[in-house]
Amino acid sequence: MRRYWKVYRTFFASSLSRELEFKANFIAKLAQNAMWIGFFLMILFVVYSRTASVAGWSRGMAFVLAATVFLMNAAFNALFFSLQEIPTQIRMGTMDFVVTKPIDSQFWVSMRRFNFDQIGTIIAGIAMLVAGIITSGVTPSVTQWLAYLLLLPAAIAIFYAFNLALMTSAIWLIRVDNLWVLGESVIGVVRYPIDIYGPGLRQILTFVVPLAFLATVPAQQLVRGFSPVNLVIGIGWAVLAVLASRAFWRFALRSYTSASS
């Protein structure tokens, strides 16, 4: 474990050096992320200027949900940004150098780059979370906060597992470059509470395809009260998703025949 921590510190340092070389690009990406957050907030303001509640979610509660999405997505993109490089590595043949290194290949492709421009989004997400809690009029208990702080990493783990499996499929779909768009599509879905869907679809998004646990369920812990069942299910989904994606990665590597084959 100490060896991997040392390697990750090297990854982190090299990522920081890369960002410092292109300061203007870093500032531009921060501005871009802030602009997207601003656009989404404008949508919320427009929607709630016409109604006080959407599927039982007030404007303050919707802010908590949006903050949860931004925090989850920003943390994922900061920690696991290098996953997007897997299709390119497979197509260009540089994956050959990854799988032959004396280190776990999944760790390498997942943690190789730290995306610093997401730090601004994380800060904005925290501010939105606080604003949402205040405007919603709820006062979460310590138990609710603990449940939220457990389910948020679980959401990141589920989203990581989904994206790892998605990018790993590039081993077979070599010429498909934009697999990451499907991950962005998922974010577009979870920005809104699953309560807006019918009962059948809500069950599917909770127990079959666990998109509800990416944002809605963690946010509910704060604004609607502590649910031990959802907490256990969310953590269970995270463990299952990570193990499944790990198994899929190892299976896919057996089909990888390098760029020269």
Is there a contact between 123 and 103 (Cβ–Cβ < 8 Å)? Answer: no
Residues 20, 96: Cα–Cα separation, whole Å: 29
What integer is the mean pLDDT of 8-30?
78
**CA-closest candidate to residue 133, choices 145, 121, 123:** 145
The pair of three-digit structure tokens given for residue 69, joined into one six-digit string: 């999405």
Q: Residue holding tokens 């939220």?
A: 148
pLDDT band at 176 (very low <50, low <70, confident <90, very high): low
- Tell me, what's the pLDDT at 260? 54
Is 258 inside any structural domain?
Answer: no
Look at 29 and 69; give whichever has higher pLDDT: 69
For residue 41, the enclosing domain spans 2-253
What radius of gyration, in Å, describes the C-alpha atoms of the chain? 19
Residue 87 forms part of a structural domain: yes
pLDDT on residue 248: 94
In a domain, 260, yes or no: no
**Could you tell me the two tokens for 229?**
């069942």
The closest of 198, 194, 196 to 51, measured between CA atoms, is 196
> What is the phi/psi pair of residue 54, to 5°?
-125, 110
CA distance 204 to 227: 19
Distance (Å) of CA 99 to CA 95, 121, 237: 6, 33, 28
pLDDT of residue 38: 78
In a domain, 43, yes or no: yes
pTM: 0.90
Query: Is 140 within a domain?
Result: yes
Q: Which residue has the tokens 């990750």?
A: 8
Segment of 10-19, 36-45, 147-156, 165-174 carrying the highest mean pLDDT: 147-156
Encode burial over 85-110: b for 16+ CB neighbours within 10 A, e otherwise: bbbebbeeeebeebeeeeeebbebbb
The more confident residue out of 96 and 155 is: 155
- Looking at residues 123-128, what average pLDDT do you find? 88
pLDDT at residue 261 tops 80: no
Tokens of 153: 């990493």
Rounded distance, CA 121 to CA 118, Å? 5
Higher pLDDT, 139 or 96: 139
Most confident of 16-30, 118-132, 171-185, 231-245: 231-245
Q: What is the pLDDT of residue 259?
A: 58
Three-state SS for 162?
Answer: helix
| 168 vs 90: CA distance, rounded Å | 9
Q: How many structural domains does the chain have?
A: 1
Tell me the backbone φ, ψ of residue 233, rounded to 5 degrees: -65, -40
Bin 227: left if φ > 0, else alpha if -120 < ψ < 50, else beta: beta
Q: Which residues contact 55 (CB under 8 A, 6 or more apart)?
A: 193, 195, 196
Q: What is the mean pLDDT of residues 150-167?
A: 95
Residue 259 lies in a domain: no
What does the CA dihedral 93, 73, 220, 66 come to, rounded to 10 degrees? -140
**Least confident window among 14-28, 111-125, 157-171:** 14-28
Per the model's pLDDT, the better-predicted residue between 115 and 64 turns out to be 64
pLDDT at 108 over 60: yes
User: What is the average per-residue pLDDT within 76-99?
Assistant: 85
Whether 261 is in a domain gets the answer no
Share of the chain above pLDDT 90, in %: 36
- Residue 93 pLDDT grade (very low, low, confident, very high; cuts 50, 70, 90): confident
Domain presence at residue 67? yes
Cα angle: 43, vertex 126, 233; to 5 degrees: 90
> How far, in whole angstroms, is CA 137 from its chain's centroid?
28
**Residue 91 pLDDT:** 80
- At 161, the pLDDT band (50, 70, 90 cuts) reads very high
Half-sphere exposure of 16 (CA within 13 A, CB side): 7
Mean residue pLDDT across the chain: 86
